[in-house]
Structure 1
């Protein structure tokens, strides 16, 4: 089996040389606005506030050459203390409302519970702050419309912190797609499995926001795998759910009967796209995607990181297991580059980070977009394109798989 690096078949004795020679140039070709030559092109410093002491503590704003962590906030004192320690910040606030009154803060990272995202983003935009928000962008279609209106009205930078967009394999897939390696992408699939999520349903004897949360209300780790690569929009869906009589699902605030949901989407280009979000069962804990083309297909590794698999169409004639002649596709290991080691990032951010290296990319993309007054890759339109299809898919599942149209937010 040959090994593929950056789309080039590499013999073992040439692999190291090719990897070293190509990583930098590939990074430049992949996303020019990411290319970073150690010295910031602009001296501007963005003063940011971090809100939410769990997920919010896993990013690297304090390391970015164009950023200063001005203040942090969480409702709990222990989490505020953790944020101050992580970001070497001496200023904290007991609430988002108080933080938003700080005139020094130009931008905020909202890492609060998912049902609060839309309200917290709206408050931040209305306070004149740029916003990076954890996923999903919204909980209802009504909130999707409200967010779009607020971003358009204020003209401020909004970005959603979707990790699947910046997984190392996804970055490679985006590069392959731009180069035309896939030919025509004729189908795709994605799965996000988080078994054992019920352990987070209650905390200190009280129900958390996760109690009974419908899987398809948290779809963006999957939907972004296709949308961020091809730019397609999901326009139609039929979905099904699975649940049981577990008392843990009873009396949840969402009236959700499902542990797991599977959605079958159709895109504006007619591409079929299967998405699974599963909370319970004999499951691999994974976030991964598959992209299938008439020239090449890419299968992320079963762990969602590390080496993946490429399948190339071939004219080589072989025989199937029944003895019939057929064209045999060529299967090759893809030796995954670590894009976070390249000049796609400032030198200080070139290290491993959460969700397969994505956190440092999200950090840089948000700050760089503000500094250079440009739209981030995951702008409001992309964010809602990832989020809204899941909201509609859950409605379809509640109606036994009824086919439903998905509104556009472009």
Structure 2
């Protein structure tokens, strides 16, 4: 029997089972270790992030503690994660010395602060998007904290493990695409009324402050970055996107940015919340040697030999999950990186190189498309 929360979650774009376009390698998952990592889970808001990525099902994870500022939600999270130990706040949970890592499914305005708190208490961090929320200072603080502590940080950007984005990344890394001349990323999600959120942070949010579903279609494909941006915003009629109706004084319900890339190409990235009838998170790339739209490579004639573009197997207990079957892959990548003592795919540099360009893009839109320089982050630092 579906609960009210189940119904709400299915109406939130992306919280759907993997699509028919998702393909998997015909192989059996092989564990890299029999060790279980003790993880704490923070946050169980309207999107139910705390349980939706499947940490509780991974064979190499023990969820040792959970927390939420709402006692009711915290109890629900404990049940969903099969965990006995609960805390009333993240500030209390980070003091638990038995925890090796913390997954943050908390409100976006606090992502940077919460990540820094966890890192400074000796915990590896996995965090939902965006890495930072509208603040370049927070981006620099987070970057410096990861560098100082030597701990792992991974932003859980779902587009990175879409079947299409994954296939593009494998093709790019094989050299089959050459340098990317032009890329596109789109995040379309009609928001005539704001989604419920802690402190109403989603009300009137500048679109490009939530850019990573789009920007992943270049940054997570290539590992490269954006260097300059010109962005245009659309002033629509939706009430909560009027500057006097939100705490950001944001006038735009949609923003479209043209970026210059570190490879010398161009990328058009859009976040549009005012377009009724439009939905989805998609992208494409045009390289020197070929193009990809979805998982298809063209041209067919004289194309290079491609590696297997399908996604690898997951632990049998872990569902691929929502956002085109990406949730389980993000969890498995973070867990496996910790077990193998390596940096995860979406490291701090990629996380900020997906997030910070959106902050600059919104500044450009407020200046009628003025061309602005985008800060750069690299890793290792």
TM-score, scaled relative to structure 2: 0.85
Give the alignment's Cα RMSD to 1 decimal: 2.2
1:347, CA displacement in angstroms?
A: 3.0
Q: 1:160-182 deviations in whole A, cap 9, x for unaligned? A: 10111111121111222223332
Number of corresponding residues: 346
1:284 to 249, 254, 278: 278
Q: Which of 54, 65, 70 in structure 1 is aligned with 2:64?
A: 70
> Displacement, 1:112?
0.7
CA contact (8 A) 1:193 1:283 kept: no
* Inter-partner Cα distance in structure 1 for 2:334 and 2:288: 35
In 2: Cα distance, 1:112 partner to 1:194 partner:
21
Distance in 2 (alpha carbons) for counterparts of 1:262 and 1:287:
14
The aligned counterpart of 2:341 is: 373
1:52 is matched with which residue: 37, 43, 49?
43
Larger of the two Rg values belongs to structure: 1
1:269 paired to 2:259: no
In the alignment, what sits opposite 2:162? 167
Aligned-partner SS, 1:348 = coil
1:228 to 207, 213, 220: 220
Name the counterpart of 1:311: 298
What is the deviation of 1:245? 4.9
The 2-side partners of 1:183 and 1:405 are apart by 25
Mapped pair 1:216 → 2:208: yes
- List 4+ stretches of structure 1 deviating above 4 A: none
1:134 deviates by: 0.6
Gaps of 5+ in 1: 1-18, 25-34, 301-307, 316-329, 331-335
Q: Aligned residue for 1:399?
A: 367
Kindly indicate whether the alpha-carbon contact (under 8 Å) linking 2:136 and 2:356 is maintained by their aligned counterparts in 1. Answer: yes
- Taking the TM superposition and a 5 Å limit, the aligned residue runs for 1:79-98 are 79-98=73-92
Greater CA deviation, 357-366 or 247-256? 247-256
Helix, strand or coil at the partner of 2:317: helix
Residues 1:134 and 1:207: Cα distance change in structure 2 (over 3 Å) = closer
- The 8 Å contact of residues 296 and 313 in structure 1, kept in 2 or not, is answered as no
The DSSP-based 3-state class of the residue aligned with 1:363 is helix
Residue deviations 1:206-242 (CA, integer Å, cap 9, x gap):
9610011000000111111111111221000000101
Give the drift of 1:151.
0.5
**Cα distance 1:47–1:207, how it changes in 2: closer, same or farther (>3 A)?**
closer
For the Cα contact (< 8 Å) 2:40–2:66, is it kept in 1?
yes
In structure 1, the partner of 2:104 is 110
Residue 283 (structure 1) shift: 3.9
